[in-house]
Amino acid sequence: MNLKDHYPESRWVAALKNGDTLAFDEIFRLYGKRLYHFSLGYLKSKTDAEEVVQEVFMKIWHNRASLDPGLSFNAYIFKIAYRLIAERFRKSDQEKKYLHEIASESIDFTAEMDERANYRSLLELVERLIQKLPERQKEIIVLRRIQGLSVADIAVRLDISPKTVEHHITEALKNIKAGLDPESIAGLLFFVFFVKKV
């Protein structure tokens, strides 16, 4: 028997609003799989879809006091899921953008252009190299490239001089460049020139 057939959803929401954990479990049972398949349809990743479902229910529990049993809970919960999915796409796009920028700045321009290199693999390599940077360099690269802070803003936030910030950025790019083999760099050069022309 469907949950709605023997206990109106609005009553479960009202109970959840008052902190009833049984109501939370029942709502999870009703919506968990539906949210999972909804998220999977967008994200194409089981892990990401599961994480979205967890985040949705964490938000619902933390914000339970503001629930309105008189409104459509179905619309409410799927709206939360959609926003979380959209945020993941935005984060992914931003991450790709900063990887492109860092990879581009790590290139030594040579005549050795080779389009055979796999650009996706190159970006993955750049990401691994970033993770291996000394903590301070990685922190500054994240603030500069991912969060988009200026050198001056980073200096204020970290209580260091702008010159020191610039030094760490320069050293970080040197370390990344050292980890890029010539074939990967050549492939990146081809991609950058091709994209600019299109």
pLDDT tens, position by position, 150-196: 999 999 999 999 999 999 999 988 888 887 766 555 555 544 444 43
Within this chain, do residues 87 and 117 fall inside the same structural domain, yes or no?
Answer: no
**Which string of DSSP letters, residue by residue, matches 79-136?**
HHHHHHHHHHHHHHHHHHHHHHHHHHHT----S---TTS-HHHHHHHHHHHHHTS-HH
97 within domain boundaries: no
80 within domain boundaries: yes
pLDDT of residue 107: 55
pLDDT of residue 95: 67
| CATH label of the domain that carries residue 149 | 1.10.10.10
pLDDT of residue 52: 94
Within this chain, do residues 114 and 75 fall inside the same structural domain, yes or no?
Answer: no
Using the predicted structure, report yes or no on whether residue 144 has a pLDDT greater than 90: no
Within this chain, do residues 156 and 110 fall inside the same structural domain, yes or no?
Answer: yes
Within this chain, do residues 125 and 185 fall inside the same structural domain, yes or no?
Answer: yes
Within this chain, do residues 74 and 8 fall inside the same structural domain, yes or no?
Answer: yes
Alpha-carbon span 24 to 20, nearest angstrom: 7
Confidence of residue 198 (pLDDT cuts 50, 70, 90): very low
Query: Among the listed ranges 16-20, 50-54, 79-83, 193-197, which one has the minimum average pLDDT value?
Result: 193-197
End-to-end CA distance of the chain: 57
Contacts of 64 (CB under 8 A, 6+ apart): 16, 17, 19, 24
Within this chain, do residues 117 and 182 fall inside the same structural domain, yes or no?
Answer: yes
Within this chain, do residues 190 and 111 fall inside the same structural domain, yes or no?
Answer: yes
110 within domain boundaries: yes
pLDDT of residue 96: 72
pLDDT of residue 98: 74
Q: 96-112, pLDDT tens digit by residue?
A: 777 777 766 665 543 34
pLDDT of residue 173: 85
101 within domain boundaries: no
pLDDT of residue 116: 37
Task: Give the domain range for residue 115.
Answer: 106-197
Q: Considering only CA atoms, which of 55, 175, 41 is closest in space to residue 167?
A: 175
Mean pLDDT value of segment 86-101: 75
Mean pLDDT value of segment 6-20: 85
Alpha-carbon span 186 to 191, nearest angstrom: 9
